[in-house]
Every structure is written in C-alpha cells, then in structure tokens.
Structure 1
Amino acid sequence: MSERKQKRFWKTTTVAEEGEGFAVALDHRRIKTPAKAALLLPTRVMAEAVAAEWDAQEEKINPLSMPVTRSANAAIDKVRHQHAEVAEMLAAYGDTDLLCYRAESPAELVARQSDQWDPALDWAHETLGARLIPHCGVIHQPQSEAALANLAAPVHRMTEFELAAFHDLVSLSGSLVLGFAAARNWRDADDIWHLSRLDEIWQEDQWGADEEAQQQVEIKRRAFLHAKRFMDLCQSTMQ
C-alpha cells in the first residue's frame, strides 16, 4: 500500500447485504482484499466488525489495528485457494496431538496432565467420535485411522473463513482437539489456551518465568483469543 493510500480518504463506513454475503463500503465504495478480490463476509456481525475497524481509523490506516479485516483477507486471498491443503495440514495434528504426549515423571506433572488433558480427550471421543490414546514419551505413536478420519472430516467441511480461524486455534495450541474444543465452546477460550501451556506453566512454577518469553506468550494468547472471536463471527446466525 502506497503512502497516499495509507491516509484516511472516506467519511462514512456502511454494511450492505450482497448476494449471500455482506460487503463493507467506504463512502459507497466496496472494500477489496489486498489481492483485489471482493471483501464479501459470510455474516452481518463479521461485516459490522470489519466496518468498525475501518471506522476507527484516524488520519492514517493502521492494518495492525484491524485483526478481523486481516483474517478475512487471509481467508479470501489465501485459504480459499488452498483449502484442501490447509485442511489436510491441520487434520494431521490429530496424529501428533499435544494432549497425547505425556511425561513419565515427576508424579505431580503426570497427575496434572491426566487431570487436565484427559477430559478434553474424553470430550473429543464423545463429541467427534475420535478416541485418541495418550502415551508416555516423545516418540511418535500412531493413532487409529478411524479416529483420525473422524477428526479430519469436519475440518475439510469448514468454510474458508472458519478454516482461517481454525488454523490459528490449532497451530497456536499445538492440538487439534483443543482447536475443536475452542471452536465448539467446550470451555472458555482462555482456559483452553492455558491447557495448551500446561507443560510450560509447570516449568515456570518450578524455575520461574522469563520476562521476554512471557511477552511472546502473551502475543500468542491474544492471537488465539482473536482466532476464537473470528470463528464466532463466522458462525453467528444474527442477521
């Protein structure tokens, strides 16, 4: 984007229904993605969130202050054109899911992993029909083909917008199960994020937290919570 285009050039921001989606206009000019595709959003609430981000811009446009717009752009310009590949990559997390790799010691960590991670695996079994088996150590132990197929199917059925959100829920947590748990409201998103950091939190409890590392963790936590918000915007039925 050129310096000229970085300046705010519009007065009003509006949302309008367009076909099966919703468009955002700046002084009646429809917004486009960086790749010049129409920025057509799947729900009104998402369109309103995008409009609010643009309306909040002052003298110059700051893309970093528009996370919903950026996620929508990624869904349209990137995920839409490689949907199968992205879905396959995310589904593959099931065979190496974070929740299945357990410590052999100390006993307190072993118990903490069992107490906090087993309920998520039970939920995946009950909700998604996928029983993943935990094991000790870091050596790969393949999961059953049936369980992996049951996890992969709903990933491939996601829209490009849902898949863009799901990508961050899974990749940031390191767990396909926790990605589903966040997307389907098993527990509060912040609680699920802390489950993904159980081992790190254990280490911090023993040896203390590094300030610089904590700053990076906070960046990732905010990105995870944004991904959950974007998923909710994708799935909203409000008109």
Structure 2
Amino acid sequence: MLPLPAAFAGLLRSNCPRFLRYQNYATRKRFYRGTGVIQSEKKWEVTLDHRRLKTPNGQVLMVNSEPLARAIAAEWDAQTEVITQPTMHLTSLCNTALDNPGKLTPHDIAIYFLEYFSTDTLLFYSDEEEELRKLQEIKWGPIIDWFQKRFDVVQEVSKGLEPPPVTANTRAVLAKYFLSYDFPALTAMSFGVEALKSPLLMLACVERRLDPKEAVLLARLEEEYQLMRWGRVPWAHELNQAELTARVAASLLVIHSSVEHHSAKAKATPERMSQ
C-alpha cells in the first residue's frame, strides 16, 4: 500500500467528531406572500416578498445553482398559514452549511463517515433468522459488490454482533473520496447517512447507483421483513418511509448541485486562461 498523505493519515487515527447539528425550528405563522429567486454575483438567493432570505445567524442564504435556489423557494412557497420548518429539508441543510453551528470542518465530517462505516447497516447480516439472512444477501449483496468494484476495495460483512474489519486501504480510499467534496455537499451527505443509517447506501445514491426510494427500502429491509410477518400500523409505515425518502432526496439535490457547480467552474477555467 502506498504511503498516505498526512491529511488522510490523520483521519485514520482520529475519533468521531461532535454530533452534527442541523438547524430546524419550531413552527411559526407565515409572514410573506410570495417567493422569488435572484442572481447575485455568481450565486443565487431566495427572496420572501422581495426581501433576501437569511440564515438564523443573519447570513444571506446563497447557493451555487439556480435549480437549488428554486427548490428552496418552492419549500417556502408550499407553506400554508403556518411555516413548518422541520419539514423544509433543503432550507435546513443550506442554513447548517452556511452557519455551521457545530463548528465542523470537512475533516471532521470525513472522520464521522469513517467511524460510522464499520457499523453500517448493510454490513450486519442476521445470524439468527436464516430467511432474513438470505433476503439480506439477495438485496444488500449487490450493493456491497458494487461498492467493492467502484472503489477497488475488499469489504467483509458480519454475521454476528462484532463489526466487520475495515482495512486501512479502504479507509484511505474513502477519506480521499469524501474530502473531494466541499463543505455543503459533505453536510448534505451526513444528513443522508443519518437518515439511512448507512454510508454505503448514501454512497450508492450519490453515485446514482440507487435512487432515494430504493435506498430507503434497502435501509428498512429488516423492518419490512418483520412487518410482513407481524403486520404494520396503518399509515405510520408509509409516512415514515416518505419522510426518509424526502430527506435523502434533499441531500442528493444539494450534493449534485455542488458537484455540477464545481464541474462547470473547472471546465470554464481553461477557456478563461486562453482568452
């Protein structure tokens, strides 16, 4: 194995950072009539009655892409008499990325992912119910296979209570991958990881191997199995599934908007240099 850059070596030795804190708030009455989107310099802002939307810390909420700004505006436009901010995932994610209430760095979030990885839901197969284990092998196995091929690593699974080993090479590859994203994208990625309880499933979504609905179904595989055996509470299951899907979808919109912005910026650089 090649020597690790100092930054990555530090990630492999560090402990899990402080818990990430997302900015959600109590409900309040709607105080605006309309929403809008404006371009400011090379970024986009959301307006409420022509006033610029700000974060809880008073910063103007600015994002890198028009589609993301319009999606945030749509969240505000969809509110009725009462603003229910805990359901406004895009606004919450962007507020958190800008205000950074946990005072985290990209390295902190990367460490969080690396520590979480060994407890990933997909790495723990049932050792008590053979039928459930077979279902996990059928449903989760292809995602683990995809992960190994995509990142050129080897990853074992556990069939007991002990976490499976994660090699130093795998941790180094993942550290490099995570640190290739900017802070807003990493913040959004952590939001998705916490919803799915699985960095593996979130990676598959980011890489477009899975869509949010598929990822949520795989994350809830054991619960679905038990519900099929013992029954379910009407509506509660569907509501929870829809909420998780919305969280993952919001995370992906922020991540992909960030990636597309940086890709476009990188492509434009040679053109500017040649002028």
Q: Would the TM-score normalized by the shorter structure come out above 0.5?
A: yes
Q: CA distance change for structure 1 residues 66 and 136 in 2, over 3 Å: closer, same or farther?
A: closer
Q: CA distance change for structure 1 residues 17 and 130 in 2, over 3 Å: closer, same or farther?
A: farther
Letter in 2 for 1:74: T
Q: CA distance change for structure 1 residues 235 and 80 in 2, over 3 Å: closer, same or farther?
A: farther
Q: CA distance change for structure 1 residues 147 and 70 in 2, over 3 Å: closer, same or farther?
A: same
What is the aligned-residue identity percentage?
26
1:16-35 pair list within 5 angstroms: 16-35=38-57
Q: CA distance change for structure 1 residues 191 and 81 in 2, over 3 Å: closer, same or farther?
A: same
Q: Does structure 1 retain, via aligned residues, the 8 Å contact 2:123–2:164?
A: no
TM-score for the superposition, normalised by structure 2: 0.73
| Residues in 2 aligned to 1:113 and 1:215: alpha-carbon distance in whole angstroms | 21
* 1:75 alignment partner in structure 2: 97
1:133 paired with 2:128, answer: no
Picking from 143, 154, 167, the partner of 2:166 is: 143
Picking from 240, 253, 264, the partner of 1:217 is: 240
Report the Cα offset of residue 235 of structure 1.
Answer: 4.0
* 2:214 alignment partner in structure 1: 191
1:206 paired with 2:225, answer: no
| Residues in 2 aligned to 1:155 and 1:94: alpha-carbon distance in whole angstroms | 12
* 1:103 alignment partner in structure 2: 126
Q: Secondary structure at the match of 2:46?
A: strand
CA RMSD of aligned residues (A): 3.0
Q: Secondary structure at the match of 2:118?
A: helix
Q: CA distance change for structure 1 residues 27 and 126 in 2, over 3 Å: closer, same or farther?
A: same
Q: CA distance change for structure 1 residues 198 and 56 in 2, over 3 Å: closer, same or farther?
A: closer
Q: Which runs of 5+ in 1 are unaligned?
A: none
Q: Which runs of 5+ in 2 are unaligned?
A: 1-24, 265-275
| Residues in 2 aligned to 1:53 and 1:110: alpha-carbon distance in whole angstroms | 40
Picking from 191, 197, 204, the partner of 1:181 is: 204
Q: Does structure 1 retain, via aligned residues, the 8 Å contact 2:68–2:253?
A: no
| Residues in 2 aligned to 1:65 and 1:133: alpha-carbon distance in whole angstroms | 37
Report the Cα offset of residue 171 of structure 1.
Answer: 1.4
Q: Does structure 1 retain, via aligned residues, the 8 Å contact 2:30–2:79?
A: no
TM-score for the superposition, normalised by structure 1: 0.83
Stretch moving more, 140-149 or 219-228 = 219-228
| Residues in 1 aligned to 2:58 and 2:248: alpha-carbon distance in whole angstroms | 27
